[in-house]
Amino acid sequence: MRRNDVLILIVIIIAALFFVNRDHQPRRTVPATLQGAKHEARMQDSSISQERSSRKRAEDGGELLASRTNMITRAVEKIQSAVVSVYVTKTKMVRRRLGFFFDFYGEIPYNIQGIGSGVIFSDDGYIITNAHVAEGATEIKVVLPDNREFNASLIGVDSVHDVAIIKIDGENLPYAVLGTSSDLIIGEWAVAVGNPYGSLIKDVKPSVSVGVISAVDRDFARNEDNKIYRRMIQTDAAINPGNSGGPLVNVYGEVIGINTFILSESGGSVGVGFAIPIDRVKKISEELIKYGKRRAIWLDFDVQDLSPMIARYYGLKTQDGVLVVKVRAKTPAASSGLTRGDVIIAVNNTPIKNFEELQLAVSDIQVGDIIRFTILRKGKEKTLQIDAVEYK
């Protein structure tokens, strides 16, 4: 055997002996207490990691929620608890045929169910809604967003201006803040809140639609229901059946109007809705709560529109205004100095072109107000003042 081969064999034998001795060395056992400590440490590290991860997700969620919150959502949060569903029952007499053998007809009562919206505006339960919602109701039920139900009493109705006040008795009632409609800006945000199609949806929580103030001071002639809508707020916030009587609010969550009607051929919202200005509603509400009605004012004079012939006869340059044709004696009109032949061209600085505009101007006047008539008499302009007193 060659020398190199011998050396290789010796190396192999030494290596084999080394590995055999290592495998036969006694194993060291880790104490159980040490193993438990290591496991507990690993669990604590895992718990800390999970807590940090949860905190990070919460922080991210809070930032996301904050980014989604804006003036509109804050306004809705402020107003929504005070917006109620108003369920009414009205009795209508229906003419029907009675009997089988004779053509005999009679009237029988028929109950009609209706729904609208309203807004609580005081902690003692006074609610504003539309007259066309509550007027003539034999039963009124109010349901709050928290599902509390109350029987409501009808306090008063101003049918001409389509405003009604109803009242519920309860504790811890939410209520809205009534703002002002005197400083509205065309294009500013507006939020319509109410319960559209509530009888179909079966949900008392109010819904929200957002738009802008499209226009102000929109006047409408007296309609077939004898209602006068003057200086109305126009908005493109969707107003649908069931929204009537609900509030129109600004970005501060303050009520600036009461949603009343829409212009639409289909019956659904096309972005042309109208609300009664809250400043007018507040005056009417005070009157209804105190007296149970809107007291009529006493003026007692008759007018007619100006024709081209009448305008020429009185030497007038235009046909704008109304001609006083009769003033009854011992009346507020007579006491003010108004006489036959005067031409009224303005009421409280509001220009008057015809009898319809005179009706609109006078419709806003309440007992106790001062009325200033601007007239033309023998070609000269003059101002007369009348104290608005109650007609009895």
Contacts of residue 19, defined as CB under 8 A and 6 or more positions apart, other chains included, come to none
The string of pLDDT tens digits covering residues 362-386 is 888 999 999 999 999 988 999 999 9
Would you call 310 helix, strand, or coil by DSSP? helix
The sign of the torsion formed by the CA atoms of 126, 132, 135, 141 equals negative
Q: Which residue has the higher pLDDT, 270 or 124?
A: 124
Share of the chain above pLDDT 90, in %: 58
pLDDT at 364: 84
Q: How far is CA 241 from the centre of its chain?
A: 13
3-state secondary structure 156-201: EEECCCCEEEEECCCCCCCCCCECCCCCCCCCCEEEEEECCCHHHH
Topology agreement, domain 189-291 and domain 297-390: no
Q: Retrieve residue 99's tokens.
A: 């009997």
In the CATH scheme, what is the code of domain 297-390?
A: 2.30.42.10
Judged by DSSP in three states, 330 sits in: coil
Q: Is the pLDDT of residue 42 over 90?
A: no
275: its two tokens: 């609300």
pLDDT tier for residue 58 given thresholds of 50, 70 and 90: low
**188 pLDDT band (50/70/90 cuts)?**
very high
- Amino acid 236: pLDDT: 93
Q: With a cut of 80, say whether residue 197 has pLDDT above it.
A: no
What are the residue numbers of the active site? Answer: 132, 162, 244
**Strand pairing partners for 191?**
210, 249
Contact status, residue 362 vs residue 372, Cβ threshold 8 Å: no
Average pLDDT value for the chain: 84
Q: Give the pLDDT confidence score for residue 3 in this predicted structure.
A: 58
Mind listing the pLDDT tens digit for each residue in 339-358? 999 999 999 999 999 998 99
Q: Tokens standing for 127?
A: 């609610």
Predicted local distance difference test score (pLDDT) of residue 353: 94
Determine how β-strand 301-305 pairs with β-strand 297-298. Answer: unpaired
- Residues 347/371, Cβ–Cβ less than 8 Å: yes
pLDDT in tens, 113-135: 889 999 999 999 999 999 999 99
Provide mean pLDDT across the span 133-147. 94
CA–CA gap between residue 57 and residue 51 (Å, rounded): 10
Which residues share a beta bridge with 163? 158
List the end-to-end C-alpha distance of the chain, in Å, as a whole number: 147
Residue 210 has pLDDT above 90, yes or no: yes
Please write the tens of the pLDDT for every residue from 71-94.
999 999 999 999 999 999 988 777
Amino acid at 209: S
Closest CA to 173 of 202, 200, 150: 150
The structure tokens listed for 276 are 């009664």
Task: Give the range with max mean pLDDT: 15-24, 260-269, 287-296.
Answer: 287-296
Q: Say which residue, 242 or 307, is predicted with more confidence.
A: 307
pLDDT average, residue stretch 302-307: 94
Tokens of 95: 């003419």
Q: How confident is the model at residue 46 (pLDDT cuts 50, 70, 90)?
A: low
Picking from 110-124, 262-276, 283-297, which range would have the lowest pLDDT averaged per residue? 262-276
Residue 270 pLDDT: 73
Q: What is the CATH number of domain 189-291?
A: 2.40.10.10
CA–CA separation, 345 and 352 (whole Å)? 5
* Beta-ladder partners of 323: 304, 343
Q: Name the strand (E) or helix (H) holding 257.
A: strand 255-262
Q: What is the pLDDT confidence band of residue 221, given thresholds at 50, 70 and 90?
A: confident
Looking at residue 51, what is its pLDDT? 65
Identify the top-confidence range among 23-32, 108-117, 336-345.
336-345
Torsion of CA 181, 121, 220, 351, to 10 degrees: -40
Q: How many CA atoms lie within 13 A of 150 on its CB side?
A: 22
Stretch 300-315: mean pLDDT: 93
Task: Give the Å distances, CA to CA, from 361 to 26, 279, 350.
Answer: 111, 15, 7
The sheet with strand 153-158 has its strands ordered as 149-151, 137-143, 83-98, 104-120, 126-129, 163-167, 153-158
Where is pLDDT greater, at 63 or 153? Answer: 153
| Assigned token pair, 12 | 């192999």
Q: Is the predicted pLDDT of residue 34 greater than 80, yes or no?
A: no
Place of tokens 């919602």: 133
Mean pLDDT of 276-282: 96
Q: Can you give the pLDDT at residue 346?
A: 96
The CATH architecture of the domain made up of 80-167 is: Beta Barrel (2.40)
Domain extents for the chain? 37-68, 80-167, 189-291, 297-390
Q: Which bin fits 150, alpha (ψ -120 to 50), beta or left (φ > 0)?
A: beta
Per-residue confidence (pLDDT) for residue 205, from 0 to 100 = 84
Mean pLDDT of 191-206: 77
Calpha distance 76→67 (Å, rounded): 16
* 62 neighbors 155 (Cβ within 8 angstroms): no
